Amino acid sequence: MAHYKKKFEPNQELSDLFNKLWDLDDNRCEPGEHYTLDKGGYLKSSRDMTKDFAPDPLFSWVDEDKVFSKPTYKHFIALFDNYTAETGEQEVVTKEEFNENVKFIDAICETELMKEAHSFLRDKGKAPGPVGEFKKLLYKLWFKLYRRTKGDRDFDSSGFEHVFVGEVKGEDVIGFHNWICFYLQEKAGNIDYHGYFRRGTSLEKEPRFITLQFSCKNNRGKPIGGSFIGTSPEFEVALYTVCFLMDIGSKVHIQLDEYDVEITIYGHADGIGTAYPTSLE
């Protein structure tokens, strides 16, 4: 396997933590057991969206009964229909939606994985000790509304919407870095998977990270985007939250299990602006 030169060594402290979280992730999905993929062909350029090297969907099968019945997945998926896709359009959080947000945070904070992440952040002085205060911090980082585009008058976005659900800006999808939402949108026929990029994708048969391209029914789609595959909602929230709160830059190089990974994360208006993984293999 070809490797390109790494600019930085992995952050050992965060690598150790994230490997512990990886091992604690009882809700992580395993290839062949919970899902199967059809990667199709690989793409060479993100500039060309006219070529489709994947005649079939990316996800051949997902065991929805087993996976989506788990509390954190169930509460996670319940949030997907709470948002207006277009940037620049006012988001309104109803009482029901607020309660759904809170239930999701409550559910992930019950997991040993998130408890470990909270303990790490507390000991580093990056998060409050009481669980209730930590939950408020998570709500602020992920669900507090903000203006994504400078000059917009309306509060049209949030970290959760951008990273996990995705948004539409002009003709392009922005954000949208979650495999569960991708699967559900693909299953509904709303997106057409074009193939993957070799650089930025773990290249084993069933990758844990993928960099891909897709088109949409109602807009151009996304020329290039990346996400984990098979990870639980709580793992992704914990990893991105730790990277953000540790404030060590917009690019974090970690060694995760046998994978060499770069986490890209940017803040926006005191919350999460964007976050996604890229395989460095």
**Given the residues 39, 75, 118, 222, the one annotated as active site:** 222
Per DSSP, the residues of the chain read ---PPPSS---HHHHHHHHHHHHH-TT---BTTTEEE----EES-SS--S----SS-SEEEE-HHHHTTSHHHHHHHTTGGGS-SBTTSPP---HHHHHHHHHHHHHHHTSHHHHHHHHHHHHTTSS-SSHHHHHHHHHHHHH--B-SSTT--S--B-HHIIIII-EEETTEEE----HHHHHHHHHTTSEEEEEEESTTS--SSS-SEEEEEEEESSS-BEEEEEEESS--HHHHHHHHHHHHHHT--SEEEEEETTEEEEEEEEEETTEEEEEEEEE--
Q: Dig out the tokens for 163 from the structure.
A: 């990273």
Identity of the residue numbered 248:
I
At what angle are helices 233-246 and 95-109 packed, to 10 degrees? 90
**Given the residues 177, 194, 251, 268, the one annotated as active site:** 177
With CA atoms as reference, report the closest residue to 74 among 233, 235, 227.
Answer: 233
Identity of the residue numbered 274:
T
* Catalytic residue status for 177: yes
**Given the residues 162, 187, 217, 251, the one annotated as active site:** 162
* Catalytic residue status for 162: yes
* Catalytic residue status for 126: no
Q: Looking at the annotation, which residues are catalytic?
A: 162, 177, 222
